[in-house]
A = this chain, B = another copy of it.
Amino acid sequence: MENVKDLLVEIKEKSELIVDLAYSAIILDSEDLAKEVEKLEKEISELTYKIRIVSMLAANTPDEAEQLAGILQMADSSNNLANAAADIAYLLDLDITARPFLPSLFMKADEKIHVVKVYPNSSIVNRTLGELNIEVESGVRIIAIKRGRNWIYDPEDHVRIKADDLLIIRGTEDGYEFLDRVARGEESWD
């Protein structure tokens, strides 16, 4: 039962994230971000499959079966939601003139877009981008910060990183992996 709950929470969180990312892929005209969306859609699809199996095994009584059916319905709808979000990002795969809704960002071929979530225990929380000197120290540039429902695009040096921020970054794979570990609190910035 604990497993089912954890899976549902993960599905819910990922399907909220995918909506954000799908729209930002369009807004940033970012095929890399669209790829993140595609990856996330697959993850949610796999989680949905997994939660079905785990639910079957967890149901021992009719009451439990009823509860689990409710949970599966929620997981299923979240999965549909993720598919619809992914459809939005798929627009970037079409070679249409409709795409430039908003100014597109210039991207170097060898660099990738990633999303990094900042956890409350990370050493970068409450520090400004200027203090951290992120670009020089990690080789990663923060394109945008998603804070609650707000976007801070191309954030300036005085912007302070907060817990639960989503950082949309552009940079090398190494830089991304380092920043991601720091943002998870698994490694210290300094």
Contact = CB atoms under 8 A, between A and B. Distances in A.
Contact of A13 (B68, B109, B139): B109
Given A68-B98, A73-B91, A16 B23 contact: yes
Nearest to A148: B141
B70 A91 contact: yes
Given A70-B98, A87-B77, A172-B120, A135 B109 contact: no
Contacts of A23: 12, 16
Interface of A: 5-6, 8-9, 12-13, 15-16, 19, 23, 26, 63, 66-71, 73-74, 76-78, 80-81, 83-85, 87-88, 91, 94, 96-99, 101-102, 105-106, 108-111, 119-120, 135-136, 139-141, 147-150, 162-164, 170-172, 174
A57 to B, nearest CB: 17
Contacts of A70: 91, 94, 96-99, 102
Contacts of A148: 135, 139-141, 170-171
